[in-house]
Amino acid sequence: MTVTTDFFEKPRLRANVSIQVNDASCVLRYREQEYEIELAPETRSDALLLLEMLRAGGHSLDELSRKLPSLADEVGTICRDLDRFSLLTETSMKPVEAKRGSQFYRELGRFIERVKRRYNTRPYYQGLLSGTIGREQLIGYALEYYHIVRMCPGLLAPSLSHHETRKTREILQGFFVSELNHDVLLERSLAAVGVGRSELDRLVPLPMTFSVCCSLGVYARLHPMTFKAALFLFEEPDGDFNAAFKARCDALGLPKEFYGPIFEHASINEEGEHDHISELLFADVPCISEEEQHVVKRHICILVESLLLMERQIIDHYGKAGGTIPRCFD
């Protein structure tokens, strides 16, 4: 699985990147860093030509794909990987396009839908519908959900340290207050299936759950624009998922005391119109540069992928016979 790659119009290697070609590889050097790329015999000539074309710049991704038939399906991925190490820059001379925050948010919503369609899967939801999600995986979902809800206030707090408009600060403060103590609802839910506070205090999240939480916290502190966009992903309502979750709980004999508090938390978010939080925040952004737009899209694309991987980890870990439920380590 890869994230979206078409962020360049006409990519070019940065001016100080040097290329050293060896028998089976080539080495790219930039500043103090060195990157070695293996050259497969069947694509060697096109790979070297790609590097030369990227050194010259001025070629679109479509042009590169047409001129390099053996790499036609990989040009975007290669450029993404080179960009990860800051080896590429843009040579397109089109005017810089800045947008109002409200306009960008509308475009971002369509972008997120395209990303979701590209992955074309919701493994946990599909498992609920097909009946393959078991009792432990239902409890596991609540356990991982508890991590996000419990950590939420701490993850949100750094966003209040930025210099923002009065309106944005009021929105963020109100949202922060509204998210306090929601973990109590999840504690009630988990207590209904025998997971008490003493265990919750020693709970350890799955790696992707921890990664998702860390990403949100980092964006809150270091990239406010991505943080504003990311809130929508955590607050959007999903009635179909809730209905499927309830039906699966009923089928497996899990009590209403288990799933009731989960839906109560969801209803609080809906009543507070939390799904509009990103829209409200972007409405107060007078201008967002083209570069900033690209950065936000990249971050959100990775976050969507991370949430999908989190679902798969929940299915895999809590579906194992004899798996630790909950994940408590001393």
Distance (Å, whole) CA 87 – CA 80? 10
Contact 267, 242 (CB under 8 A): no
pTM over 0.75: no
Distance (Å, whole) CA 68 – CA 75? 9
In this structure, whether the domain defined by 11-90 belongs to CATH 3.30.70.580 is answered with: no
Contact 138, 254 (CB under 8 A): yes
The 10 Å CB-count burial string (b at 16+, else e) for 34-61 is: eeeeebeeeebebbeebbebbeebebeb
Pick the CATH number of 101-318 from 1.10.150.110, 1.20.910.10, 3.40.50.410, 2.40.50.140: 1.20.910.10
Dihedral (CA of 303, 305, 308, 313) sign: negative
Mean pLDDT of the chain: 87
200-235: per-residue pLDDT in tens? Answer: 888 899 999 999 999 999 999 999 999 999 998 887
Report how far apart, in Å, the C-alpha atoms of 24 and of each of 17, 36, 48 are. Answer: 20, 10, 11
- The answer to whether domain 11-90 and domain 101-318 are alike in fold is no
Count of CB atoms within 10 A of residue 322's CB?
A: 5
Distance (Å, whole) CA 138 – CA 115? 26
Closest to 142 in 3D by CA, of 191, 79, 71: 191
Which residues of the chain are modeled with pLDDT < 70?
1-7, 92-96, 120, 269-275, 322-324, 329-330
Distance (Å, whole) CA 264 – CA 114? 30
Domain spans, the chain: 11-90, 101-318
